[in-house]
Amino acid sequence: MFKIAFRNVFRNTRRSGTTVLTNAVGAAALLVFAAYALYDVYVLQTVTVQRGGHLTVYAKGFFDFGSGDPAVWGIADYASVVSVVSEDPVLRSLTAVVTPVQFLGGIAENPENSGSRTFFATGFVPADQARMQRWNEYGVGEGLENTALDSEDTSRGVIGLGFARYLGLCETLHLADCPKPPESRPQRGNGEVASLPTQDFSALAEPGASASSTPHIDLMAATSGGAPNIVALNVGRVEKQGSREMDDGYVVMNLKLAQQLVYGRGERRVTGIILQLRRSEDVEKARARLGRLFKDRHLNLEVRDFREINAYYGQTENFFRSMFSFIAILIGIVVLFTVSNTMSMNVMERIDEIGTTRALGVRRGKIRAQFLLEGSILGILGASLGVLLAFAAAAAVNHSGLSWTPPGDAHAIPLKLYLLGASATIVAVWLMLILAATFAAFVPANRAARLPIVDALRHV
């Protein structure tokens, strides 16, 4: 039966060829999109995990109620929590980095020109941050822009380009794409306020903190006790961030400096403990293990994964998923109509032959199976050719030197189609097209099987 079906497919080479090519182009388009979407999601995941790890441990309730006041929701004796996590045999095999982190917000001022701006900052252990930025599970991390802290100088930090612009640091730092404010810019307040002496927070800073020759800014925040505190941050580097909102208030600093600002001379805590795993697929396993450890030790902590923390990540995944489903449905419909039309023509042209074979003793079911098989062969050929076309397209794009800027990033990276990583999708698309083609052949096949033999033999 397979031999006859295969030969029948090539009986009308042009028609079958057109059908196969249509299916192939559809399959290739779907796979190229899947490869693009996968690469995009992998880049986004790599950026997210390099910056914030897979899992973050917070004081219980912080995620829902404490993010506006991270100083109050600190984890006390965090070093023992870090050591519990680091020394657990299960987690040790899963994690690449376990590091404390401090989030904070406040007001920053440039003492040189009185510009001020609210900021939101993260304090990292520089060596741990450097290790986190080496995470590259999917091989897409090359070329991604990373924040680099200085381990030697705790007062050195990184700020966003927009933040530098607000604080009037463009000229001092010789920044490109950083416009000066217009000379006719509006001035705040009335004459009484304007006549007050300019505030200089630097007097509050720790002695010697601003001794560096690099430009510095003053960061002011409320301590966990509610008192105002201030530290000087040497601007070691300016990095443009992907979103303007983030760029305009972005500060990354050494954990010690962040703790100094938030806790002053009080007990040093941290907002969270980041776990970066070796593989993203272990997120649930690690999360479950952390939950058990904290429960056993009566630690009042909660664990959140990177999807919960970065809502944008999940939204991007869902967007690509829905786009893929939409394109798949469209291509499925095209395949259905194309194969159905081809198979209907095949049945029409072979009515006499159907009558002959039925007269010779072929059962109805076998006639039906024969045409379904022909439909599925069209599907197999189209889907297989589509996979080859997709690989050819991916190779062409990957070697084209094209670049693009991923969502949430500020710098262009090479455009790649990650088709090899989409092996499950390739199999799914391949099977889906074959099923669609077989399904499309069902109506013509059924019509062929139900033809009265005498009528079929009489057909000219």
Partner 1 sequence: MTDDAQPVVELKNVTKSYKSGKTEVRALRGISLTIPAQRFTMLVAPSGSGKSTLLNLIGCIDTPTSGVVNVAGETIANFSDRALADFRAQKIGFIFQGFSLIPVLSVYENVEYPLMLTRVPAVARRRATLAMLEAVGLSEQKARRPNELSGGQKQRVAIARALVKHPEIVLADEPTANLDSETGASIVALMRRMQSQSKTTFIFATHDPHLISQADRLVAMRDGELIQEPAHV
* Contact footprint for partner 1 (CB under 8 A): 4, 7-8, 11, 352-353, 355-365, 452-454, 457
What are the structure tokens assigned to 166, written together?
């607000």
CB of 442 to partner 1, least distance (A): 19
CB of 5 or CB of 262, closer to partner 1: 5
Alpha-carbon distance 21 to 29, whole Å? 12
Alpha-carbon distance 307 to 286, whole Å? 15
CB of 408 to partner 1, least distance (A): 57
Which ranges constitute the DSSP H helices of 61-112?
78-87, 89-94
CB of 316 to partner 1, least distance (A): 51
User: How many CB atoms lie under 10 A from the CB of residue 275?
Assistant: 27
Q: Residue 392: helix, strand or coil by DSSP? A: helix
Alpha-carbon distance 101 to 103, whole Å? 7
CB of 151 or CB of 446, closer to partner 1: 446
CB of 295 or CB of 450, closer to partner 1: 450
Query: Taking Cα atoms as reference points, which of 331, 73, 116, 345 lies closest to residue 217?
Result: 116
CB of 53 or CB of 355, closer to partner 1: 355
Strands 403-404 and 95-109, sheet pairing: unpaired
Phi, psi dihedral angles at 200 (to 5 degrees): -130, 100
CB of 361 to partner 1, least distance (A): 2
CB of 75 or CB of 448, closer to partner 1: 448
CB of 69 or CB of 352, closer to partner 1: 352
Q: Residue 55: helix, strand or coil by DSSP? A: strand
Phi, psi dihedral angles at 365 (to 5 degrees): -60, -35
Alpha-carbon distance 398 to 414, whole Å? 8
CB of 7 to partner 1, least distance (A): 4
Q: Residue 242: helix, strand or coil by DSSP? A: coil
CB of 68 or CB of 361, closer to partner 1: 361
CB of 440 to partner 1, least distance (A): 22
- Cα-based distances in Å from 151 to 47, 126, 276: 22, 5, 20
CB of 355 to partner 1, least distance (A): 8
